[in-house]
Amino acid sequence: MSSAHQPPYFLGLDLGGTNVKGGVVDDTGQTFPSVSQLTRATLGPESGINTLAEVARLAVEASGLDWKDIAGVGLGSPGTMDLGEGLLLDPPNLPGWQNFPIRKKLAERLGKPLVLQNDGNAAAYGEFWIGAGRDAESLVMFTLGTGIGCGIIDHGRLVVGRHSNGAECGHLVIQMENARQCSCGAYGHLEAYASATSLVRRAVEALEEGTPSRLQEVWSKGNLSSRTIAEAAEAGDALGRTLMRETARYLAIGAVCLMNTIDPDIVLFGGGMIAAGSILLDDIKRDVKSLAFPIPAAKTRIEYASLGGAAGYIGAAGCARLAHSSHASDPNRLLTS
């Protein structure tokens, strides 16, 4: 434990379909080493509570602090959820965890105040607190992976919504007619165009049509992914470049919709797809400039997130800190048990 760390200390947990991550963060946002374990979600929620408790124990151990030093715990989880009640409702990434009172169960198990937050919101809050958005007052973050997660902070406050459906901006409708189907079943959503899954699907469509590309060989070997498509684009492959260019335009449209709704200081993109590097970010920036109104186009920063996969647990710890210190009237306060 570094002497530079300042109490109180908060434990952040990031519950994903594959892994549970956890780590302690101090009052100033300085982190301690993090830990990770497989979720094994199919074993069900009671087993999941055991895993979360084990990650919590290991994370505090890794911090060198005592358990009693932890002032509160934040848990980021995939939805759907009821934040007011502290319930998981029907989370697609956690099969068998329906209607599970996760906040109460985990708070009892850990014996600490616990705040539940949506994973997209938690990641956005992490970037807002100590990441690429640390100088911002308002922030929008898109997490680009299998789907598209989102989190919004408006003047320092998470936009959680009134039915725990705030910041589900992967499901903005950006195309009404002849629209692609989203993983959620509806049509024309941002996620159906710009997620890693959609990028690969669009690549397969072009490759099936016989478009010449070095991606034909990658595809035949079963190695087609957002990463190999971005690599082909970087190496000058025309199809790869077209696919990444389209992706940037879709993401720019998503950014502009939020610039005309929330009007943040900064729009961040995080998640696995940002491994594509500056080629994607530069394309997004160019399209935002041409699609947005002049003032937000000139003033809104468009950047990559900086915390990688740590944003979730760091932000969850930040939400615990927020609940610890905020007024009773603050909606972010209401998520605690």
Q: Given the rule CB under 8 A, which residues bind its own copies?
A: 80, 89, 137-138, 152, 154-155, 157, 159-169, 171-178, 184, 186, 249-250, 253, 256-265, 291, 293, 295-296, 299-300, 331
Which residue, 64 or 92, has its beta carbon nearer to its own copies? 92
Which residue, 61 or 137, has its beta carbon nearer to its own copies? 137
In angstroms, give the least distance from the CB of 53 to its own copies.
29
In angstroms, give the least distance from the CB of 323 to its own copies.
15
In angstroms, give the least distance from the CB of 159 to its own copies.
6
Which residue, 11 or 174, has its beta carbon nearer to its own copies? 174
In angstroms, give the least distance from the CB of 80 to its own copies.
7
Q: Which helix (H) or strand (E) element contains residue 77?
A: strand 70-77
**One-letter amino acid identity for 192?**
A
Residue 181 phi, psi dihedral angles, 5° rounding: -85, 135
Which residue, 31 or 332, has its beta carbon nearer to its own copies? 332
The whole-angstrom separation of Cα 73 and Cα 318 is 9
In angstroms, give the least distance from the CB of 142 to its own copies.
12
Coil/strand/helix, residue 82: strand
CB-based burial, 124-140: b 16+ in 10 Å, e otherwise:
bbbbbbbbbbeebebbb
Which residue, 275 or 295, has its beta carbon nearer to its own copies? 295
Which residue, 102 or 148, has its beta carbon nearer to its own copies? 148
Handedness of CA 190, 193, 195, 197 (dihedral sign): positive
The whole-angstrom separation of Cα 172 and Cα 197 is 17
In angstroms, give the least distance from the CB of 263 to its own copies.
2
In angstroms, give the least distance from the CB of 141 to its own copies.
13
For 71, counting Cβ atoms within 10 Å of its Cβ (0-12 exposed, 13-18 middle, 19+ buried), the class is: middle
On the question of a cis peptide bond just before residue 80, with omega within 30 degrees of 0, the verdict is yes
C-alpha closest to that of 120 among 15, 274, 11, 247: 15
Which residue, 36 or 138, has its beta carbon nearer to its own copies? 138
CA 300 centroid distance within chain: 20
